[in-house]
Structure 1
Amino acid sequence: MKTIYVMLWIGLFAACSNPKSKSPEEVTQLVLESFYAQDNEQLQTYTTQTGYQGLKQIQNFFIETSETEMDFKVVHQTQNGDTAWVQFNINYLDRPETFKLIREDGQWKVTEKGLREKSPF
């Protein structure tokens, strides 16, 4: 009987400690916010290793903006298995941009597009 209670408590603890996975759109917005705010800890959380390195390389070229709102809007989104593409627009950009995301350890993360890889949009 004690074994059953212990197993129930372990199951309950495991269920409560696993946060809900964020959608590709939510991850895209979090990456953009952390990129422009230079919150590199959060940026690293929601990107793959290569995605993080690529974004860090260009992060220093951006001048801090006085605007506080990004006005993030998803233009297109598609998902095929463990790969997703999110095309978005923010008021810092002149035209829509696209992020490629992959599911890594059950969580969506922004990654770099492969050489000559084209988005579906």
Structure 2
Amino acid sequence: MKNYFFILVLGICVSCAETQMSPAMTAQKVVESFYSKDNSQLKKYTTSASYETFLSVQDMFESQNSSASNFKVLDESMDDKTAWVKFSTNFEDNPETFKLIQEDGMWKVTETDVREKSPF
């Protein structure tokens, strides 16, 4: 009987736990949700300020199929609280860089400070 209870509790814990995505996976999610205009996903993986910024420029871009992004990580840097991801996509000619921070136990894309430079 104890084994059944243990298995039940373990199953509930595993099913309820959300796996934290890496900074690179989060950056890909943000890029693809931005271009496909999936704003619920965009909001989930960005800070409040970044989300508002993304929304303000989103209408300037045509909706794209997220599977066509060809997202490729070019460089990545991470410490305990901040991560940087440099990547390329089919949507832009030049590589882009996102700054990510830990918020609510998740990596989220945030805005770069005025004089802040990426490590790349």
Band the TM-score falls in, shorter-chain normalisation: 0.7 to 0.9
Structure 1 residues 106 and 62: alpha-carbon distance in aligned structure 2, compared to 1, 3 A threshold: same
Deviation of 1:117 after TM superposition, in Å, equals 1.0
Matches within 5 A, 1:1-121: 13-65=12-64, 69-121=68-120
Which runs of no fewer than 5 residues in structure 2 stay unpaired?
none
Which runs of no fewer than 5 residues in structure 1 stay unpaired?
none
Q: What is the distance in 1 between the residues matched to 2:68 and 2:11?
A: 39
Q: What is the distance in 1 between the residues matched to 2:95 and 2:76?
A: 12
Q: How many residues align?
A: 118
Of all paired residues, the percent bearing the same amino acid is: 42
Structure 1 residues 88 and 18: alpha-carbon distance in aligned structure 2, compared to 1, 3 A threshold: same
Deviation of 1:14 after TM superposition, in Å, equals 3.7
Q: What is the distance in 1 between the residues matched to 2:92 and 2:117?
A: 20
Q: What is the distance in 2 between the residues matched to 1:46 and 1:68?
A: 18
Which portions of structure 1, spanning 4 or more consecutive aligned residues, are displaced by more than 4 angstroms? 7-12, 65-68
Deviation of 1:16 after TM superposition, in Å, equals 3.2
Q: Structure 1 length as normaliser, TM-score? A: 0.85
Q: What is the distance in 1 between the residues matched to 2:25 and 2:66?
A: 21
Structure 1 residues 67 and 11: alpha-carbon distance in aligned structure 2, compared to 1, 3 A threshold: closer
Task: Give the superposed CA RMSD.
Answer: 2.4
Q: What is the distance in 2 between the residues matched to 1:42 and 1:31?
A: 7
Q: Could you report, residue by residue, the CA deviation over 1:63-112 in whole angstroms, capped at 9, with x for unpaired residues?
A: 34579511110000000111000000001111100000001111101111
Structure 1 residues 26 and 65: alpha-carbon distance in aligned structure 2, compared to 1, 3 A threshold: closer
Q: What is the distance in 2 between the residues matched to 1:111 and 1:42?
A: 15
